[in-house]
Amino acid sequence: AQVALLEQGIKEAAEGALAAVLALEAGLSVEQRGGRQVHTDFLAAPGGIRPQPLCIPTGTDLYPL
């Protein structure tokens, strides 16, 4: 149940962020967007976003001897 709630929260946050980006882009002039040939690409993970473990190196892991 907690995972489903987390997934729903992530989905809602992602949709809100996308809506904000699209609204911001819609308010820009052609020149501000980079010209008529420019377009915005959105990348998505196949099957949606799933929680996965994330390893962030710290300390000496960043600079092995």
Q: Please compute the mean of the pLDDT values over residues 10-38 and round it to a whole number.
A: 86
Give domain status of residue 14, yes or no. yes
Give domain status of residue 11, yes or no. yes
Give domain status of residue 16, yes or no. yes
pLDDT at residue 46, rounded to an integer: 60
Q: Please give the Cα distance from 59 to 63 (Å, whole number).
A: 8
Find the domain containing 18 and state its range: 1-26
Summarize pLDDT for 36-64 with one digit per residue, the tens. Answer: 887 777 666 666 666 666 666 666 655 55
Task: Note the pTM of the prediction, 2 decimals.
Answer: 0.52
Q: Please compute the mean of the pLDDT values over residues 17-27 and round it to a whole number.
A: 87
4-8-11-12 Cα dihedral, nearest 10 degrees: -170
Q: Please compute the mean of the pLDDT values over residues 7-15 and round it to a whole number.
A: 89
Give domain status of residue 63, yes or no. no
| Number of domains present in the structure of the chain | 1
Q: Please give the Cα distance from 65 to 51 (Å, whole number).
A: 32
